[in-house]
Amino acid sequence: MKRLTNSVCFFALLILAWAILTGDFAFLGMPESLWSPYVLPPPSTVAQYLWDNTANGKIPLSMLITLRRLLIGYLIGLILGVPLGMLAARFRCVNDTLGMLALGLQALPSVCWVPLACIWFGQTEAALLFVVIMGTLWSVLLSTQNGMKNVPPIYARAARTMGSGPLHTLIFVTLPASAPFVVSGMKQGWAFAWRSLMAAEIYVSVVSGFGIGQYLHYGRELQRMYQVIGVMFIIIAVGLLADKILFSPAEAWLHRRWGTGKE
């Protein structure tokens, strides 16, 4: 409880300081804003922007479009990454080829793919999906491979003596045994996917749908910094929510079962 109070107080003070410095309390006789609203808008205009555009449905619609891109791209990345990671763990030749490729491309921020994606796919959904997949795939692949390689061989031996064939062992022993690694890879993949999609949406305008990142881009074009900051808040909120809803329960379960980790 004390820790929660600490967090809440901290953020309240942060916003309060922001409000004071940007003149939100000028009507109470406090000083006017230190900066022009084009540099740093007060929290009230940001809140106003978020409220109005949520009420008129623009933000919910763009979030729907963005999340759809994110989910589809992420799922494709997972569906490709997990089996490829398993292959790379199992076969040396896959490790030496695809594994090396993954290692190299993982070091490349996936926004670097945007120029090529635009040439290859045009300004379409496919271009955005491609960038998201490039963000997800490699880290999922590598952590799946790493997880499978770290499974103690005794598990597979024990399973064999109990009658498991190779496929049964793979699905019911090696895969669950590497779950802690796979889940942390999925989490990292999600973070990369989210970052790369935002970068791509800011970078590329796609007529098929106006995503949240594009609002940020037009906020900049129109010098509406309250819009830019509002969208930044939304991006943070989505990232946090995904973490809490998707990954925290899975991680908590893993920690409980394995007896690892925190607190």
Partner 1 sequence: MQEKLHEEINAFPTAKLSIEHVCKDFTTSSGPVRALDDVSLNINEGEFVCFVGPSGCGKSTLLNIIAGLEKPDSGMALIDGTPITGPGRDRMVMFQEHALFPWLDVIGNVMFGLKQKPNLTDKERLEVAKYYLFLVKMDRFAHSNIHELSGGMRQRVALARSLAPNPKILLMDEPFSALDAMTRERLYGDIQDVWEKRRKTIIFVTHNVREAVCLGNRVVLFSPHPGRIREQFPVSLPRPRNINNHDLADLSQEITSALKGYTAAESD
Which residue ranges make up the site for partner 1 (CB under 8 A)? 154-155, 157-164, 168, 172-173, 176-177, 179, 256-260
With respect to partner 1, which residue has the nearer C-beta, 92 or 257?
A: 257
Tell me the closest approach of the beta carbon of residue 258 to partner 1, in angstroms: 5
SS3 state of residue 239:
helix
Question: Where does residue 143 rank: exposed (0-12), middle (13-18), buried (19+ CB within 10 A)?
Answer: buried
Which CB sits closer to partner 1, 29 or 163? 163
Comparison of 29 and 259: residue with beta carbon closer to partner 1:
259
Least Cβ distance, residue 187 to partner 1 (angstroms): 18
Closer residue to partner 1 in complex, CB, 155/233 = 155
DSSP state of 95: I
The CB density around residue 79, as the number of other CB atoms within 10 Å, is 13
Residue 242, both tokens? 């995904």
d(C-alpha 244, C-alpha 238), whole Å: 10
- CB-wise, 22 or 178, nearer to partner 1? 178
Distance in Å, CB of 259 to partner 1, minimum? 3
Query: Considering beta carbons, is residue 48 or 164 the nearer one to partner 1?
Result: 164
Would you say 138 and 106 are in contact if contact means Cβ atoms under 8 Å apart?
yes
Q: How far is the CB of 198 from partner 1 (least distance, A)?
A: 35
Extract the tokens encoding 86.
């398993």
State the Cα torsion 42-44-45-47 to the nearest 10°: 120
Residue 161 CB, shortest distance to partner 1, in Å, is 4
Considering the complex, what minimum distance in angstroms separates the CB of residue 254 from partner 1? Answer: 8
Contact 247, 255 (CB under 8 A): no
Q: Residue 38 or residue 172: which is nearer to partner 1 going by CB?
A: 172
Query: Cβ contacts of residue 63 below 8 Å, gap of 6+?
Result: 212, 234, 238
- Quote the least distance from Cβ 188 to partner 1, whole Å: 21
What does residue 165 show for φ and ψ, rounded to 5 degrees? Answer: -80, 180
**Torsional sign, CA 144, 147, 152, 158:** negative
